[in-house]
Structure 1
């Protein structure tokens, strides 16, 4: 069995991390990975770091982390490091645990603790139960969305931002409020699909975009990803399908 090796995030493995778990290579996913890669690179000067797990020459997982003041996650705190995502494509071989340990060792030098956005679900992405087994404790929650943390030194616990969204109508139009971010590849894809579909309806649709990758925007609204059609939220659990976006616009147009 090939030994596992943990390497730093670098130009050598940046596209692997930017691509996330999407193996499909088509124009849409490749473009989104490039957008995500540019964002990751821009944040390196602000303290973004990462680790990539290898088996031989093959990457099999990654973790990325950054100071909370530059985080794209809707959580508030000080002197903390945020882990937006941990990915391991090979299960049951300790890659995730090794990546977490490497991130913790690194974060101890620059912060007083780690914050992890997680979920109470059985899906593979950021399950709260996994991190709790590694010693992380609940700091705050909204339904199944859980903020976990582990303190290395005395520090106040983090908490979820309050939402500050108010729908503003436009006479005779469907208003689409798009909150998106560059840290999640599916959000990048979703945003581009929403733009394209809204153009199809011309002056009947007003698209308002909010780039929650910008910390100031995130702090103002407390939303890192959402899609509203005339004030009504719609979430598919993955990147919104074009047909679904059209359906929501058509329903809103029918009652104007």
Structure 2
């Protein structure tokens, strides 16, 4: 068996036949995967300031009808650079289902370290794709995804840097391995990253993924561009609101299992 296809086999053993799977709608597991290196402080702060708006937009019924997220869990995960040893490469948290707990997780994420510009995003995505699923007859586990088919899975990335290739963990794995495992785990990506780093277009090939390519003004660095993108409370609030609406609609689509 090829080394990097192992995850695919593990997930396949967890999936019951399609006829036995309920078509659950309006339930979401969401990971906010944030670059936590030194330049990301303003972005992390902006996400925290808008997290209530994000949840409220998802869960408030529209007077005219339409999609709504009936049940949600979310967590914050920070990543840095595995080659930079002065700070932990990951800051992980359990899934929670209240805004207050989510804000606490964001408060605990500090922008620090990072080393050279490229960061180890692909390793973080690989870890999330490998995160176990709670068994269909087991109590819900805050350190695991909900059972496959019982919730939509989302990862929302914010970063101002490119990613390193190939992976350090598992050593030698490629972006294609990451994409395969994300698709096998049925994870939908939403990526906020500078337009300058066109390799994000490859990650956007994951089914239903979206890359929000952030343009730089003349003379701006990508880091300055993201800070500017998140600095206007009104504009960024609308961006977060639209993200919540998109995830709400995607949560309404029944998951088709292989």
Q: TM-score, normalised by structure 2?
A: 0.29
Structure with the higher fraction of residues in helix conformation = 2
Structure number with greater CO (CA < 8 Å, separation at least 6) is 2
Q: TM-score, normalised by structure 1?
A: 0.29
* Higher gyration radius (CA): 1
Structure with the higher fraction of residues in strand conformation = 1
